Amino acid sequence: MARVAVDVVIKPEILDPQGKAIVAALARTGHPGVSSVRQGKHFDLEVDDSVTDADLEEIAENLLANPVIETWTITRLQDADAPVAR
């Protein structure tokens, strides 16, 4: 078993109104120094050893992210509880 993190963010050229609303809220709560926030999604996956990097790429591209509007990064995490990572 291994743990995998997939982080999905909206492409920089696409308007993120939620991020802008968060910037405005930060300014109101005493943090005017934050000029940009982009909101995204974080997925924690537990996968068995048969799941390859190519599988993970397909999972991210076909379901977790929409390539039209989002980019993603895949990170395999070491898991202390797992006897053998990967």
Partner 1 sequence: MTSGSGAPRIGVVTFPGTLDDVDAARAVRYAGAEAVPLWHADGDLKDVEAVVIPGGFSYGDYLRAGAIASHAPVMRSVVDAARGPRKLPVLGICNGFQVLCEAGLLPGALMRNAALKFICRDQWLRVENADTAWSSRFDTGAEILVPLKNAEGRYVADDHTLDELEGEGRVVFRYVTDGAQDGATNPNGALRDIAGISSADGRIVGLMPHPEHAIDPLTGPTDDGLGLFLSALDAITGAPTLTGASS
Q: Pairing relation of β-strands 2-10 and 40-47?
A: antiparallel
How many whole angstroms separate alpha carbon 4 and alpha carbon 74? 7
In this chain, which stretch among 29-37, 53-61, 64-72, 78-86 interacts with partner 1, using CB under 8 A? Answer: 64-72
Residue 17 sits in the site that holds partner 1 (CB under 8 A)? yes
DSSP label at residue 67: T
Smallest CA-to-CA distance from 3 within 67, 66, 68, 56 is with: 56
Complex with partner 1: residue 1 or 26, whichever CB lies closer: 26
Site for partner 1 in 20-49 (CB under 8 A): 21
Taking the complex as a whole, the smallest distance from the CB of residue 66 to partner 1 amounts, in Å, to 6
Complex with partner 1: residue 49 or 62, whichever CB lies closer: 62
Taking the complex as a whole, the smallest distance from the CB of residue 69 to partner 1 amounts, in Å, to 5
Complex with partner 1: residue 15 or 54, whichever CB lies closer: 15
The C-alpha angle 86, 44, 85, rounded to 5 degrees, equals 15
